Structure 1
């Protein structure tokens, strides 16, 4: 591993992920030349966060190819990944059965032949799960009598063998009259369309169109005469990448277009009904500039690639020089996010962090079944040659890059939700004056604050405490509403006749106990016995359980038992002397007790949620080896944790939690909600699993919350 890559790995450990998620791209000091004058601006829309820990080399070390380029990756029906790329003048494929963690040695699709390079491949899985590999024979200058062309081979065994080569099209002998860059898609009707850049028709000019060939029999036969689907007179439409927008019954392909100076990403679209009946010329309404924020005409931004997430958003990559020396050999990979119509592309990010005198070229994207995004590139950043590398990313939820805040975001930390009489009530840490409360009938539309005393369900002076009103829990017992909470780093319980309060105490006092203790959670076992789970501040934040008196008037402090403390690496990522485990919630499921908790200091971006199990409410507790189950790795939002588990009206579990205000600021913390469920395991305890794509930021029409 070279020194630069070692440095990059180290940078990841100390926080590179924040820079990447914000789209920061600083040109390094290496490489001379004029730097393109347009900086990478920040967009208000969705954007992708790239996980540098997933940076993986795809091309083979053992094969020792001197040149690899033009990579594409697809996920096959069996969930394995298939990569295809150029290698020393030929085309090879590689396979991964662990979602890109490791890759097989290459299998040859086509070899260099008598001075003809097999270039710019593409691979397509058909509905019958056979594979088609398209590539572009490119003769060298001294390969007499050889023509540029488009060829295809087929594999019926998942890419192990490739057979039945067909020549679909031939262009001229000379480079300036060639054809290029095949890329294909299959429509719901079964028709296969392969698009390619074609300048064979323009022998006396520097022009190029996008041409189309079709097959209606799974690639056995093809139309003979190419159809022109896009052409701007006097310019070069190039590098097409098609996509079928299923929900819109519309087809679209990305191209590079130099009609206004240097190449820029454009989109050409057509309906299924029109099906490319006429080409999109310069004035066509079917030809549109791809980016929502225009790049200066002089700046290079070519080789676009287009894909769509299962959630509907489209993503577009290109190789651009914004913020870098304005020459293609110094371009890096940019990725932007569009809507379900393949429009309004913004939120620019840079997946690969490379020096200023290196490049990421001929890039592509793929979307896995769980909406993980893979960016793949041919780069010379990590060696003295071009290699194939990949990295994984996820689309940030909400509207945030720097922040997930919306206009009326609810700012409650340590949140809890209580369901009573078809209404949900939301409480949390928010003010030195007590606890605010919001209400909702559907967990989507929140009103409030609706507390009985100027929005507060519990107000300072009506119950124990003068400051530090933290982490409430509300429950109903024998017709009375209870609130267990922290104040002055002690635990107290107040009661009310309503979930909106006012919660009060007749005698303003905390529960019994020694030392500082916070984060109460009252749990009733199947026999009705109550237990208080809480956190003691002693050589760290440690979670304890204490039996309670049957009337809930106090705990039995002499029976306090320690449950867990921060002993695992994920629970103390900064390796501090004061390890933190806190925010306990306990449920009983199939005669097993689940203790859900948060770890790390709440200001740490790695604040996260895990769980432990026990056969008894008093322990001993066994920590789940797969923790954390909720973290910034899942949701790509810092500080995700300290919440509460509850059942919604449908009987499904939900977990309410808080996240940091932004990628760079902790407070005021923001309330969010995610689905969580039990997953059956054969012969083992059920796993508790968070639904990664379900995080929702909670908002209200009149959110006016003061953060402590």
Structure 2
């Protein structure tokens, strides 16, 4: 277990947060937090768990990061290794990459949905693994949850529980095909019940995320090429978790030196209820790309207009420097 500066062993209780009002979370962490990409966040009691694509070492496994103050993070894992998943090698590819995890807590169990790369020329695949604790270890279900084909890349899973119906939906797809598909999950959360036809929203590339706020469904996603300044977060809204969608615009875009922000997740601060966004970006970069090196995980505030629109997110962090996150 790797501890980042100042973090003890406390990981918070497993009770659900009880937020009665939204107020400022106070001082946010100094960005960037640690190397990684494609982060998903889960609030567990007073703790925030981040599950990213890990980009600082072996790429065929997943890790989890936890903090009770958003400033100091503790790494757990590997929580799942691909050499423990028996169907991974069925495509004949010489190596595989662990990408874009999403974690859901339901009825005392934790479900890890993940992408298996590469997706070309071999079929893209999404798997699901289950654990009794947020830090794992996770055990794979024994088969792929979803397999792509020539018209669809099975990547970037995101699972959302509809607070109105209690049903669980899987959002997946994107990149070269730039096609979004939505499925309802069976009650076991490790198999599909049915596909629900949806329209792919404008400027969708990958990394779909769904959240619900004050009667409205927010579908957000990444647009552009992830190694370039064009990579950004856009969103659309709807009156149901499957649309139809009304495109609202971009909310997270590159600035002078922080490039390609995207593949994000929204979450609420466990003590204040304030909305935050966790995402990755390239640090200390100039020009339009392509960029090289490791992307970095960051957290910033999310603010809503009175009519429910999301204001453009202001990226924060240190001035340009050669600093890396201390191990």
Quickly name the TM-score band, shorter chain normalised: 0.7 to 0.9
Aligned 8 A contact 1:563 1:618 in 2: no
CA distance in 1, matches of 2:128, 2:140: 8
Structure 2, unpaired ranges of 5+: 1-28, 90-95, 118-123
Seen in structure 2, the aligned counterparts of structure 1 residues 534 and 506 have a Cα distance that, compared at 3 Å, is closer
- Contact persistence 2:257–2:283 (CA under 8 A): no
Task: Tell me what 2:73 maps to.
Answer: 446
C-alpha distance in structure 2 between counterparts of 1:696 and 1:494, whole Å? 37
Q: What are the residue-to-residue correspondences of 1:605-644 with 2, within 5 Å?
A: 605-624=229-248, 627-633=249-255, 636-644=257-265
Aligned residue among 102, 114, 136 for 1:485 = 114
C-alpha separation between the residues in 1 aligned to 2:168 and 2:159?
7
Matched residue, 1:145: none
Q: Tell me if the contact between 1:469 and 1:487 (Cα under 8 Å) persists in the aligned partners.
A: yes
Q: Is the 8 A contact 2:281 2:296 kept in 1?
A: yes
Q: Secondary structure at the match of 1:471?
A: strand
Once the two structures are TM-superposed, the CA of residue 694 in structure 1 deviates from its matched residue by: 4.3
SS of residue in 2 equivalent to 1:564: coil
Larger CA Rg, structure 1 vs 2: 1
What is the rounded CA distance, in whole Å, between the counterparts of 1:540 and 1:696 in structure 2?
36
TM-score, with structure 1 as normaliser: 0.36
CA contact (8 A) 2:303 2:310 kept: yes
Q: Would you say 1:473 and 2:108 are equivalent positions? A: no
Distance in 2, matches of 1:666 and 1:676, equals: 28
Cα shift at 1:424: 1.8
Q: In structure 1, which of residues 503, 528, 534 is the aligned counterpart of residue 172 of structure 2?
A: 534
Aligned structure 1 segments of 4 or more residues deviating by more than 4 angstroms: 693-701
SS of alignment partner, residue 461 of structure 1: helix
Partner of 2:145: 511
Matched, 1:595 2:216: no
Tell me by how many angstroms 1:691 deviates. 4.3
How far 1:469 sits from its partner (Å)? 1.0
1:517 aligns to what SS in structure 2? coil
2:83 corresponds to: 461
1:481·1:495 contact (CA, 8 Å) conserved in 2?
A: yes
Is the Cα–Cα contact under 8 Å of residues 196 and 242 in structure 2 kept in the other structure?
no
Q: Secondary structure at the match of 1:518?
A: coil
| Cα distance in structure 1, aligned partners of 2:65 and 2:278 | 13
CA contact 1:544–1:564 (8 Å) conserved in 2: no
CA RMSD of aligned residues (A): 2.6
Residue 478 to residue 694, structure 1, CA distance change in 2 (3 Å):
same
Q: Which runs of 5+ in 1 are unaligned?
A: 1-396, 399-403, 567-579, 703-708
CA 690–501 in structure 1, closer or farther in 2 if over 3 Å, else same: farther
Q: Which has the higher contact order (CA 8 A, sep 6+)?
A: 2
Q: Select 1:674's aligned residue among 300, 305, 314.
A: 300
The CA deviation string for residues 319-350 of structure 1, in whole angstroms up to 9 with x for no partner, is: xxxxxxxxxxxxxxxxxxxxxxxxxxxxxxxx
Counting only pairs closer than 5 Å after superposition, residues 11-30 of structure 1 correspond to structure 2 as none
- How many residues align? The count is 271
TM-score, with length taken from structure 2: 0.75
